[in-house]
Amino acid sequence: MILLKNQEDLLLMRKAGSITAGALNTAMELVKPGETLINIDKAVKKYIEKCGAKPSFLGYGGFPASACISVNDEVIHGIPSDRQLQEGDIVKVDVGAFYKGFHGDAARTFFCGNVSDEAKRLEEITRLSFWEGIKYADSRYRIGDISNAVQQFVEKAGYSVVRQYVGHGVGKNLHEEPEVPNFGRAGKGPRIYEGMTLAIEPMVNEGTYEVDVLDNDWTVVTHDGKLSAHYENTVAIGPNGAEILTSTD
């Protein structure tokens, strides 16, 4: 069942989204050569708790950290460790904040020092594909219109969208209906209604869309070892389209 939010709900979701965005900015400042993933995770947790919220991911399904931090060919669900970042790494940080009963959920791809032109273009296409999709996050359309717009933009640029993992509704639960794939047919899927809150999150691979899961049963990597990028925001559907609740600008 798709859960629609009222204005009181949205006030709390805006706050959860703002805390989530602040946590991402905290992580971004620490992405530099020599920094460890576990230190970034600790800083994210400290920031979220300082804001009066709880990390949405910590303990979720047994996940052992407050942030998913995925490097290079890791797509999503990277577990923070004492791994040190290296010059040229691309670092995907995915965080959530639970505030007074509601979740925010967002992700960004950050650059560690100087990265390759190929990595820069992959991140740019991933980020821009979100903005292509959000054009259809409107009560005139269906979920498949968002999905199709993301897929078409990514594939025309020569990349592929991950198919095993998708965006989702978000609110009182971190994952709610409907699923929001990054691929699909325009005009298909659930109708979009005012009051829906969605986590739209293109996951884009440099090579094949096929992925594997590491032995830790969490971390998803590209099947061919090529780079992957991730960009996600929580959005609310309003009378004039989508409102981004996790803006980091």
CB crowding 29-45: b at 16 or more within 10 Å, else e = ebbeeebbbeebbbbbb
> What CA–CA distance (Å, rounded) separates 126 from 47?
27
Per-residue pLDDT reduced to its tens digit, 66-83? 999 999 999 999 999 999
Classify residue 22: in a domain, yes or no. Answer: yes
Backbone angles phi, psi at 58, to 5 degrees: -65, 115
Classify residue 210: in a domain, yes or no. Answer: yes
Classify residue 1: in a domain, yes or no. Answer: no
Classify residue 249: in a domain, yes or no. Answer: no
30: CATH? 3.90.230.10
pTM of the model: 0.97
- Domains of the chain: total: 1
- Find the domain containing 103 and state its range: 7-242
Classify residue 2: in a domain, yes or no. Answer: no
Per-residue pLDDT reduced to its tens digit, 24-46? 999 999 999 999 999 999 999 99
Classify residue 247: in a domain, yes or no. Answer: no
Classify residue 222: in a domain, yes or no. Answer: yes
Q: Where are the alpha helices (DSSP H) in 157-208?
A: none
Classify residue 99: in a domain, yes or no. Answer: yes
